Amino acid sequence: MSEKYLNNLKSDYNVIALFSAINVVLMFFSVPVFFPIGFQINYFLTYILFPSLKQDLSSVILGVFTVLLSLSIVVISKYLSKERKWLFFLGGFIYFIDTLLVLFSFVANSFSKEVIIDVLFHIGMMAFIISNSVRYFKSLPKVT
């Protein structure tokens, strides 16, 4: 039973990484669409904090940063196990920080309805991550 929850959590992280990588490609080709479930830090830095970076080499650097962040989540997913409990918290913490950025963006955009989807997806994924982590740890045999 515990393996089911572990596999669910790994899937959560892999989905985040996949859509983050797709978002970087879309942003690189100036496609005005992105998937709200992936990391939004690249979008946040490029379009909210530093709009002048869109046409600059810095946007490529931000894209590389987001891809590296996505790869780190894939690595976390691959090595998740009961022996490496700290990886559960690291993966969740990274996505939590990204969720805070999305919430900040929501407030900065005067609660724009365009950003509400991002907020809802991020909160939903955080709920999946927390739920699967808690279920996994509860399903482990008790050590006496």
**Other beta carbons within 10 Å of 74:** 17
Alpha-carbon gap, residue 54 to 6, rounded angstroms: 38
Is the pLDDT assigned to residue 46 strictly greater than 70?
A: no
pLDDT tens digits for 77-103? 788 776 777 887 888 888 888 888 888
DSSP state string for 13-32 = HHHHHHHHHHHHHHHHTT-S
Amino acid at 3: E
Alpha-carbon gap, residue 118 to 102, rounded angstroms: 7
**pTM for the full predicted model:** 0.75
User: Based on the number of CB atoms within 10 Å of its own CB, is 8 exposed (0-12), middle (13-18) or buried (19 or more)?
Assistant: middle
Q: CB–CB of 48/108 below 8 Å?
A: yes
Domain spans in the chain, listed from the N-terminal domain onward: 2-139
End-to-end Cα distance, the chain: 20
Read off the pLDDT band of 69 (50, 70, 90). confident
